[in-house]
């Protein structure tokens, strides 16, 4: 039986995005990166989440090329970094990313952080890339409700995805419901809170009941919440483990127990206090 999770979410424009992908932040060793992404594609991952700032778009492109998987079966996301924001700058940065990835279109392109005074123009450029069919979907990252309201007030094409830090210690309920009301799918970054929640007793206990690891329980929680999850790992064993979540279901009670772990605790930067470049 194929245990690798393969479901999709349908974005506002009707295209399908795999609900589970490989995040590649902090994959800095080129050989390790190539090997991790290649292995993920081999075992069935079809979505890769990279960004210009991760400095591994080149290796991501090589892994895609060497995999031999038809382009239309993959879902590739990248992001424009803060120092490249603004209308013309974003268009230029996109061209650079596309070149490094050796692709002629991306599936999704995101504003990495809402840089004050610039994120509106950055999103206008993303809309233009969409109109020109250089990306299949538009989106943003680290946008709070007030940033999204500002974008929605002017956008001809509303963002289809918002990628935010989200895990059982930071469940982001108000932002998630705002996104839901506006047809914006949510991607959870640091879905495992960078490993900091793996020793939580409640999660361990639920894992024991299903014969699953804590990481698998957390990933299943994201997926059953309709979220897109992009756990990162360079270990072959963990890459496979994180996607082997198609053969069990958490009960309503278990889902609620996990919801109750929320502490509004971030592992990464808060978009409100982000150092605006
Ligand atoms: N938009 C943004 O601003 C933003 C910010 C941060 C992250 N992201 C995206 O989200 C992705 C994921 O976030 P993240 O990398 O910060 O954190 P994460 O996926 O929550 O956690 C990754 C950490 O957990 C470990 N790990 C992975 N699977 C494991 C398992 N099954 N058991 C035990 N440990 C495991 C990894 O180590 P090993 O590699 O050694 O397995 C790594 O140290 C990133 O790669 C990136 O694509 C986006």
- Does 194 sit in the ligand 1 pocket, CB within 6 Å? yes
The tens digit of pLDDT for each residue in 199-220 reads 999 999 999 999 999 999 999 9
User: Which residue is closest in CA terms to ligand 1's atom 14?
Assistant: 190
User: Phi then psi for 179, rounded to 5 degrees?
Assistant: -60, -45
Ligand 1 atom 4: residue of nearest CA: 189
Task: Please give the torsion angle defined by the CA atoms of residues 57, 58, 62 and 63, in that order, rounded to the nearest 10 degrees.
Answer: -30
The pLDDT of residue 273: 85
For the chain, what percent of residues have pLDDT higher than 90? Answer: 97
Q: Provide the pLDDT for residue 163.
A: 98
Exactly one of 39, 54, 109, 123 is catalytic; name it: 54
Q: What is the pLDDT of residue 6?
A: 95
Whether the per-residue pLDDT at 277 is higher than 70: the answer is no
State the closest ligand 1 atom to the C-alpha of 110, by its place in the atom list counted from 1: 1
The tokens describing 55, both together, are 């400095």
- Indicate the pLDDT class of residue 2, thresholds 50, 70 and 90: very low
Residue ranges per domain, the chain? 12-192+225-232
Going across the sheet that includes 75-80, the strands are 22-23, 47-49, 75-80, 106-111, 135-141, 161-165, 185-189, 228-229
Judged against a pLDDT cut of 60, whether residue 105 lies above it is answered with yes
HSE (side-chain half, CA atoms, 13 Å) at 123: 28
- Which of 47, 60, 115, 232 has the most ligand 1 atoms within 8 A of CB, as the residue to mutate? 232
Residue 1 — pLDDT band, cuts 50, 70, 90? very low
Instruction: Note the pLDDT tens digit of each residue in 32-50.
Output: 999 999 999 999 999 999 9
Q: For every residue of the chain, which 3-state class applies, written as one string?
A: CCCCCCCEEECCCCCEEECECEECCCCCCHHHHHHHHHHHHHHCCCEEECCHHHCCHHHHHHHHHHHCCCHHHCEEEEEECHHHCCHHHHHHHHHHHHHHHCCCCEEEEEECCCCCCCHHHHHHHHHHHHHCCCEEEEEEECCCHHHHHHHHHHCCCCCCEEEEECECCECCHHHHHHHHHCCCEEEEECCCHHHCCCCCHHHHHHHHHHCCCHHHHHHHHHHHCCCEECCECCCHHHHHHHHCCCCCCCCHHHHHHHHCCCCCCCCCCCCCCCCCC
Give the pair of three-digit tokens for residue 165: 């830090």
Is 271's C-beta closer than 6 angstroms to any atom of ligand 1?
Answer: no
Give residue-wise pLDDT tens across range 148-186.
Answer: 999 999 999 999 999 999 999 999 999 999 999 999 999
* CATH class of domain segment(s) 12-192+225-232: alpha beta
105 catalytic per annotation: no
Give the model's pLDDT for residue 190.
Answer: 98
pTM above 0.95, yes or no: yes
Residues 6+ apart with CB under 8 A from 124: 87, 154
Mean pLDDT of all residues belonging to the chain: 97
Of 168, 173, 117, 110, the closest CA to residue 142 belongs to 110
CA-proximal residue: ligand 1, atom 48 (nearest): 189
């Amino acid at each position: 039986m194929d245990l690798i999770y393969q479901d999709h979410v349908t974005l506002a424009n009707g295209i399908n995005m795999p609900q589970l992908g490989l995040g590649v932040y902090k994959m800095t060793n080129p050989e390790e990166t190539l090997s991790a992404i290649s292995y993920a594609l081999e075992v069935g991952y079809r979505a890769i989440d990279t960004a210009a700032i991760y400095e591994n778009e080149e290796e991501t492109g090589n892994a895609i090329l060497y995999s031999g998987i038809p382009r239309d079966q993959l879902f590739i996301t990248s992001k424009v970094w803060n120092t490249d924001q603004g209308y013309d700058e974003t268009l230029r940065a996109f061209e650079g990313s596309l070149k490094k990835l050796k692709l002629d279109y991306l599936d999704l392109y995101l504003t990495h952080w809402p840089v004050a005074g610039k994120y509106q123009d950055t999103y206008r450029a993303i809309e233009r890339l969409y109109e020109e069919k250089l990306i299949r979907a538009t989106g943003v990252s680290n946008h709070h409700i007030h940033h999204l309201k500002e974008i929605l007030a002017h956008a001809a094409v509303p963002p289809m995805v918002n990628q935010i830090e989200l895990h059982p210690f930071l469940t982001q309920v108000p932002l998630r419901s705002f996104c839901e009301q506006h047809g914006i799918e949510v991607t959870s970054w640091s879905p495992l809170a960078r490993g900091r929640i793996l020793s939580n007793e409640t999660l361990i206990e639920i894992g024991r009941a299903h014969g699953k690891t804590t990481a698998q329980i957390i990933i299943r929680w994201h997926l059953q919440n309709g979220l897109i999850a992009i756990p990162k790992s360079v270990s072959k064993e963990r890459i496979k483990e994180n996607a082997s979540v198609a053969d069990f279901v958490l009960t309503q009670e278990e889902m609620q127990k996990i919801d109750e772990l929320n502490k509004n605790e971030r592992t990464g930067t808060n978009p409100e206090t982000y150092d605006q470049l």
